[in-house]
Amino acid sequence: MGNVTIIGAQWGDEGKGKVVDWLASRADIVVRFQGGHNAGHTLVVGNQTYKLSLLPSGLVRGKMGVIGNGVVIDPDALLAEIGRLQAQGLVISPETLRIADNAPLILPLHAALDRAREAARGVHKIGTTGRGIGPAYEDKVARRAIRVCDLAEPETLSSKLDELLLHHNTLLAGLGAATFEKQALLDALLALAPQLLPYAEPVWERLAAARASGAKILFEGAQAVMLDVDHGTYPFVTSSNTVAGTAASGAGLGPDAVGRVLGIAKAYCTRVGSGPFPTELHDETGTLLGERGHEFGTVTGRKRRCGWFDAALVRQAVKVGGIQGLALTKLDVLDGMKELKIGVGYLIKGEKFRHLPAGMAAQAAALPIYETLEGWSGSTRGARSWAALPAQAIKYVKRIEELVEAPVTLLSTSPERDDTILMQDPFAA
């Protein structure tokens, strides 16, 4: 048995939460390795619905959860999430949750700068959630971040705030936004310290020991490959690397720890926020997909843009993301549609492409090249075996496999945890 890394293969919101929850029963530890509290996973367990942003999904199954050093942590948001899930009956304590002591913190000034920048961009806004994730990653790279471990050193914290405020207050003032006072920030952080520090440790040591003992680790990614800061639709991306290789660096392990890489994709395609979306539908079909799929952001509540499955985009995600098997979700949303389309490439200024180019103007100009398939009249909802699927639904899945050049190893047919068809256990060696 080996480890498994789960990443999104589109623009996020592919249903990773359910898949992580489903696989967590086979794992010993679940690790979040990148992102912030702008990404959300919804888990439906019986009559309970859990909405998670920072906490590893495995906590719902009573597994050890780890937040790695690659995550940027808003301490107020984290503590609020812990409290909310505890109120739903989950046991979350330092015995079940560990946080990397070298993980950077998101402060109120990061969110303020995030919002001020978006307002200044006007019609050219990126579509961030305004939660400070980007500015926090900037501070990490610029070596001025406040980290979890700094909460244990008041003098270090004080001197670091001086440098941080020198930078951020200058930017905020230039954007016409309110600036921050050092003492208020320092007092707030020192008040949070006794609540956060009991969870903190060098998690790389725990994970190394777990690997040595043969424990199975599930690495849980946020967002998706096409939002990767290097490989996504830049600049309409997130501020971290979302590909599978980040699981190692974002948790403090070597590259061989990543294990088998499972990519999650919807049977159609959605995107939240601004940026190119070649197969987006602005018609009744797009509206129908949104209504059937309940397409609203878990964290923000923003309405998702909907479109046909883009096989060229997912193929690209498979290659750069290291995806070895695909989990296809929400197949049931397509039930009863007479005709389905799959994007197989792009037409850009008269030239055909099998991938989405890196250039911003080229991405904006990309027109989809479609392949049309026959839909199915039967129902896939709740199916738990291939035999329960309509023949045309099977053909649709098989065609996706051919186009993205990766096998579909798991199929989800409803939000319910057990409405899943498993073709290959990703934990199997």
How many angstroms from the chain centroid is the CA of residue 340? 27
- The reply to whether the predicted model has a pTM over 0.75 is yes
Whole-angstrom Cα distance, residue 252 to residue 206? 10
pLDDT (0 to 100) of residue 415: 83
Catalytic residues: 13, 41
Whole-angstrom Cα distance, residue 238 to residue 390? 38
Q: Do residues 38 and 72 touch, judged by C-beta distance below 8 A? A: no
Whole-angstrom Cα distance, residue 63 to residue 384? 25
Containing 392, the helix (H) or strand (E) segment is helix 391-404
Which domains are seen in the chain, by residue range? 4-99+201-260 (3.40.440.10), 108-196 (1.10.300.10), 266-422 (3.90.170.10)
pLDDT (0 to 100) of residue 429: 60
Count CA within 13 A, CB hemisphere, residue 147: 18
How many angstroms from the chain centroid is the CA of residue 228? 10
pLDDT (0 to 100) of residue 350: 93
Longest CA pairwise span in the chain (Å): 67
Whole-angstrom Cα distance, residue 253 to residue 247? 8
Query: Residue 412 corresponds to which tokens in the numbers above?
Result: 């989800």
- pLDDT tens per residue, the chain (429 residues)? 589 999 999 998 898 878 888 888 889 999 999 999 876 667 777 778 888 889 998 888 889 999 999 999 999 999 999 999 999 989 999 999 999 999 999 999 999 999 999 888 887 777 777 889 999 999 999 999 999 999 999 999 999 999 999 999 999 999 999 999 999 999 999 999 999 999 999 999 999 999 999 999 999 998 899 999 999 999 999 999 999 999 999 999 999 999 999 999 999 999 988 899 999 999 999 999 999 998 986 666 778 999 999 999 999 999 999 999 999 999 999 999 999 999 999 999 999 999 999 999 999 999 999 999 999 999 999 999 999 999 999 999 999 999 999 999 999 998 887 889 998 888 886
Whole-angstrom Cα distance, residue 17 to residue 23? 10
How many angstroms from the chain centroid is the CA of residue 298? 11
Whole-angstrom Cα distance, residue 126 to residue 123? 9
Q: Do residues 263 and 327 touch, judged by C-beta distance below 8 A? A: yes
Whole-angstrom Cα distance, residue 12 to residue 287? 19
